Every structure is written in C-alpha cells, then in structure tokens.
Structure 1
C-alpha cells in the first residue's frame, strides 16, 4: 500500500492559496522575462520531478490540458501517478499534442520546433515548456530584449541544449506562434515568453 499512499502525498497543503501564490509568480515572471523570480515550491513530488515543477503542474495543469513528459520524467511510474492524482492530467504521447511539457533533462530535449506552435489565428494553442535546470546561473550568458524588458537583461541558465540560442532565435521568428518557457532551479523560476528576443549569446 505504500506506493499508493505516496501518490497521495506531497501536493499543496492549502490548494487555493498555494496555487494562487504560484500563479502570481508565473505571471510576474512572464511580465518580466529572463529575470529570477523567487518561488516557494509548496509541493514534494516523487523524484525525479523537481518540487518547483510539481508546484507549476498543480497550478497550471488540469484534466483538459494534455501534458508531455520527457523520458526522464515519463519513465517514472511514481511521477506519472502523482501528476495524475494531483492534477488530473492526461499524458500526451508526442510533444505536438501537449499544452504543457515537463522536461527533466533539458540538454537532451527535443527541438523547440517539435512542440505545439499554435497558429496565426490561435497562437494560444502553443505549448508551455517547464525545464528543470541545474541552476539559473553559471551557463552561457543570454541577453534579451522585448516587451517587459527595459533596454536589455541577461541570464545564464545552466543545462540548456547546446544549440539553444539558435533554437530560440527561430522560435522568436515564428511570433505570434512559438513556445514559451518556464525555467526552474532551486527556489526560483525565470520565464522566457516567445516575445523575448535573444540579442546576444556569449561563448
């Protein structure tokens, strides 16, 4: 009975309050792209799902939002059961069918172009990707411009794909289509909406 009991544990202790606090952090992060936004996870999901990713799932996902899990997360029956119980999410078999994607190993993730891009008429039908990273510091410095950014802002997340700069530039050119990203590490998130234009990636 222990696996089943564990599946029931680790969700929001105060679902309404915790979901509201998490949602506010995401909205703040999307309004202020590429900036570190502190966030208390308030969930304890089974590994390898990160507590912040678990909190984001409990806030953003429900039975009407198909979710894709990369092999690291999708290979865990405990993670799948926890998400099903706490969010009601149904798992999409391929990235293009998902409204949200949770990525446990971003360096090996599919190209951004393989996720739902939306259409010119319905750009909101694109995917939002939640990436579990090693850190929001110590990686390749990326400098962005765009709505919500005064002049320029830089961030150096560690653990992104080696060709992330090229992929993100292509993603921006598809605007208003394209995917949005929520990067999570430690006790903070950083959001990259598709409107954030990468102007510089340092080696």
Structure 2
C-alpha cells in the first residue's frame, strides 16, 4: 500500500496548523483558516489531517473512531507522525472523530485529574461546515462577553455533553472542530448553550 504525502514543507506548514489550533482554542467561537492536506486518505478530511499531524508525534497516543480507523488512515498517520495508535479512548492524548453523530459519552475519553488536567484527550471532530448549521452561544476565557459559533454535523446532545464536560473543570476534554477550510476550538473552559 502506497502512503500518500502529507506536508510539502513540513516545518512551516505544521507550525501554521499548530498556531491556528492554539488560536482556535484560545479564542473560542472564531474560525481559524487551515490549509488542508489534499492527499489525506478518506475518510480523514484534509483539514483534520493537517491539524492532527501538527499535534501528534511519537510521544503521543492517538485514538481513531470506527469511521476513521481504516487501514489507509492508520498507516498514513503513524507513518507521518510516529504516534502510537490506541483502541482505548481513555488512554488517548488525541482522538480523531470522523463521524461526530456517532460520538459517544465524552467521559469515555481521558479527562485528566485535578492535579494533572493536561492528561486529557483533545478531540478533533470532522464537521461538514463551520459558520452554518446549529448555532451555539459561548462564554468564558478568551471571549469578550459572549460569542456565537455555528456548526453542522454535531450530535443532537452536544450542548448538554459539553456543559457536563465544562462542569468537570479543571478536568475534561477539549474539542477542535475541523471544517472544510478551517477550525474552531471548544475548550473545557467554555460555557456552551444553544443560541
């Protein structure tokens, strides 16, 4: 099986994707542009591939949901990142969710501890659109007053699941929504409700 190429300029492109991810998490509700990796194997989206390869390396564990866990995706991500794949979401530093509508309970992922909240999972959810779809009201650090974010393709119960996740602070997971041309961050510090 031939493995598709990733970044043409690995250092600079990965830095741009990493910076966009940090900006998205620091400024919830904003959509940060990310250049996708056109040759990423389906069902991995080009933007999700760029973000994941900017975040993971040989020291991190990566969970792929059943929709993302194809042989091609597994080979692509391990070849280009060296990340250790795990079938146990509670052991993952990062997770790729190709089918957010099938997303289970967020408590199934690593939530960190009060002493080590950084030992939690960051989820990269592929969504069909950002800026359109269901609208959410966001409040918290990085947001002046309140912000709104529209996203398509999220589970019906996502607002309640993220409210329960927020209540665990400083524990909990962080989410990065990967749309067709950019990303948005929903960190555990953000209070989320339906707009």
Counterpart mapping for 1:1-203 below 5 A: 3-4=1-2, 7=3, 9-42=4-37, 44-74=39-69, 76-198=70-192, 200-202=193-195
RMSD of aligned residue pairs (Cα, Å): 1.1
SS in 1 for 2:107: helix
Q: Deviations over 1:67-116 (max 9, x none)?
A: 10011111x10111101100111111111010000000001012111110
5+ residue gaps in structure 2?
A: none
5+ residue gaps in structure 1?
A: none
SS in 1 for 2:115: coil
Say which is worse superposed, 25-34 or 118-127, in terms of deviation.
Answer: 25-34
Structure showing greater radius of gyration is 1
Structure 1 stretches of at least 4 aligned residues deviating more than 3 Å after TM superposition: none
SS in 2 for 1:157: strand
Say which is worse superposed, 124-133 or 58-67, in terms of deviation.
Answer: 58-67
Partner Cα distance (1:57, 1:26) in 2: 10
- Larger helix proportion of the pair: 1
**By how many angstroms is 1:28 displaced?**
1.1
Contact preservation (8 Å) 1:43, 1:55: no
Say which is worse superposed, 55-64 or 37-46, in terms of deviation.
Answer: 37-46
Q: TM-score, normalised by structure 2?
A: 0.96
Partner Cα distance (1:73, 1:29) in 2: 23
Q: TM-score, normalised by structure 1?
A: 0.93
- Larger strand proportion of the pair: 2
